[in-house]
Chain A
Amino acid sequence: MAAPPRPDSIALLDRLMAALVARGIVTEAEVAERQANTDKASPETGARMVARAWTDPAYRALLLSDGRAAAEEMGVSMAGAPPLGVLENAPGRHHLVVCTLCSCYPRAVLGYPPNWYKSFAYRSRAVREPRQVLAEWGLNLPDTVEVRVVDSTADYRWMVLPMRPAGTEGWDATRLAALVTRDALVGVAVPVAA
């Protein structure tokens, strides 16, 4: 866990916030709303979207063409959030998301990024030696699969749509969603039927 904020940092934040409010740039209510939305978001949101895409072809098409609309259809508030792009894994292609420049992450549907996602090690290695990084996470992809690293450098945010694991025939969306972890939505893991 992070260290508790220092009193001088809190005082600085208070002065910054007062200046932003005084200039009419944001209101306290807007900041509180955005904070509440991010606090509410968790990888379970992304997992529900994936599980629905696995069981509902029309929703899958919407998810791949317009991630923002697909999130809103699941009750997620996307107001003020960047556009959401969804990367479809296939038998011959695996996506891995990284932000080499900072820590861009689809917070609206996955919540706060884990610390490793923001680390220099992940950001520099994922783009250069993705197969070694994945192998260290226990994911060894065959040579026949293209590893496609997606560097989240600008205005979109990216989430992976993993492949539905074998052995889940007949499962409903709730049971399927439980298989979809945060790591699978970033692409450092793939869902497996327990």
Chain B
Amino acid sequence: MSEMPRFAAGATVRVKDDWPERRGPCHIRTPHYIRGRTGTVVRPLGAFANPEDLAFAKPAPKRTLYHVLFAQEPLWQEGKAGDTVMVEVFEHWLEPHPIKQEA
């Protein structure tokens, strides 16, 4: 990995509430249901060529990919407390979240 990951394991992060598909053709690996939601970094998974560029045969710089953990219940307003969803999210979709999450 050429650059240090911006977020460490345990960091609270918010997925950007961004909808590039409304602005034109794109290829996005960030599922809708986590956009704007807050989760916890499980660990950085390494750096991979940005699929949003690769899909259009553009030069694709490597971006750090993270495993991010979300509580299941707040995502859907249903489900069982304590259940979780873990998603691979690229760094440019994540922003630091100021509010400390309770353990």
A residues contacting B by CB (< 8 A) are 83, 85, 100-101, 127-131, 143, 146-156
Contacts and interface: CB of A to CB of B under 8 A. Distances in A.
B83 A147 contact: yes
A131 B90 CA distance: 28
A146 B84 contact: yes
Contacts of B86: 148-151
Nearest to B28: A101
A100 B31 contact: yes
B31 A101 contact: yes
Contacts of B78: 128-129
A26 to B, nearest CB: 15
A156 B65 CA distance: 10
Contacts of B65: 154-156
Nearest to B32: A100
Contact of A148 (B30, B31, B48, B84): B84
A156 B45 contact: yes
B30 A153 contact: yes
Given A127-B33, A129-B78, A154 B48 contact: yes
